[in-house]
Amino acid sequence: MQRITIAIDGYSSCGKSTIAKALATKLGYSYVDSGAMYRAVTLYCLRKGIIKDAHFIREEVVKALDHIHLSFEYNSHTKASDTFLNGENVEKEIRQMEVSNNVSHISVIKEVRETMAKLQREMGKNRGVVMDGRDIGTNIFPDAELKIFMTADTVIRTQRRVDELTSKGVHVSFDEVKKNLLGRDYEDSHRKENPLRQAKDAVVLDNTDLSREEQLEFVLRLVEDLKISN
């Protein structure tokens, strides 16, 4: 049967990547974490001193794009794709709070979004892909056969993020994480270039009270309703 494109958008720490990875594995599709791409650009700028104390010169970020090569490689241990920046596996580094605190500022830059959008469309041109982010269903793949918009209670999202960071050995306070999430939500929703918003034909998935298994079952039913199989 025909393979499709599945676009998953939503707020920070709603579990977009978790459900997208599980869905891609179940369907035998490719998975692309678009947010990781913006995080990798941010990490590069931090390492090069382009971002200093949350400040940067826009033109320097744009120039840096010529020196950034991004790719994804399958990790047989985690059974998911790791993000590579210029040949280096940076999957762990891009999840650090310093990157989280700066990524929304970098992702609003028009040239950054245009460069990432081009790469994302190239990765998904043959369909059979699950991609998550902020503007996948509205900008990257507006014709995707299935669009999901994820949301959840702020307190629940915050605790999930705290638990995720703690499991990786990063210890931060609940209030610090909550402030970061709310700030990113605002910036993502109010940026000029392709802001976070729900596509008119997207199905809302509020997973505040849903387990990962229940979420996966919900989305798989939507795929089944489209009479699509891998």
Please write the tens of the pLDDT for every residue from 24-77. 989 989 889 999 999 999 999 999 999 999 899 999 999 999 999 999 887 778
Other CB atoms within 10 A of residue 32 CB: 23
Rounded to whole angstroms, how far apart are CA atoms 214 and 183? 29
Asked if pLDDT for residue 90 goes beyond 90, the answer is yes
Q: What ranges make up the beta strands (E) of the chain?
A: 5-10, 30-33, 51-52, 55-56, 70-75, 80-85, 88-89, 129-133, 146-151, 203-206
Query: What is the reported pLDDT for 74?
Result: 77
Q: What mean pLDDT comes out for the span 144-168?
A: 94
- pLDDT > 90 in the chain, percent: 73
The number of residues in the chain equals: 230
228 pLDDT more than 70: no
Task: Measure the CA dihedral 122/150/181/186, to 10°.
Answer: 80
| CA distances (Å), origin 16, targets 6, 10, 143, 151, 205 | 12, 7, 19, 9, 10
Residues 192-210: pLDDT tens digits?
888 899 999 999 999 999 9
Cα–Cα dist 112/42, whole Å:
10
Report d(CA 154, CA 17) in Å as an integer: 17
- Where does the pLDDT of residue 137 fall: very low under 50, low under 70, confident under 90, or very high at 90 and above? very high
What does the pLDDT read at residue 76? 78
Q: In Å, how far are 19, 85, 99, 111 from 54, measured between CA atoms? A: 31, 21, 10, 19
Stronger pLDDT, 1 or 100, i.e. the higher one: 100
- In the chain, the domains with their CATH numbers are 5-225 (3.40.50.300)
pLDDT at 186 exceeding the cut of 50: yes
The pLDDT of 101-122, averaged and rounded, is 93
pLDDT of residue 1: 59
pLDDT of residue 143: 95
More confident residue, 54 or 154: 154
How many Å apart are CA 206 and CA 16, to the nearest integer? 11
For residue 53, with 0-12 CB atoms within 10 Å meaning exposed, 13-18 middle and 19 or more buried, which class applies? exposed
Is the per-residue pLDDT at 222 higher than 60? Answer: yes
* Chain center to CA of 229: 25
Max CA-CA distance within the chain? 51
Q: Is the model's pLDDT at 230 over the cut of 80?
A: no
Span 12-30, average pLDDT: 91
With tokens 């039913």, the residue in question is 221
Q: What is the pTM of this model?
A: 0.84
What is the predicted pLDDT for the residue at 171? 87
3-state DSSP helix/strand/coil percent for the chain, to nearest 5? 50, 20, 30
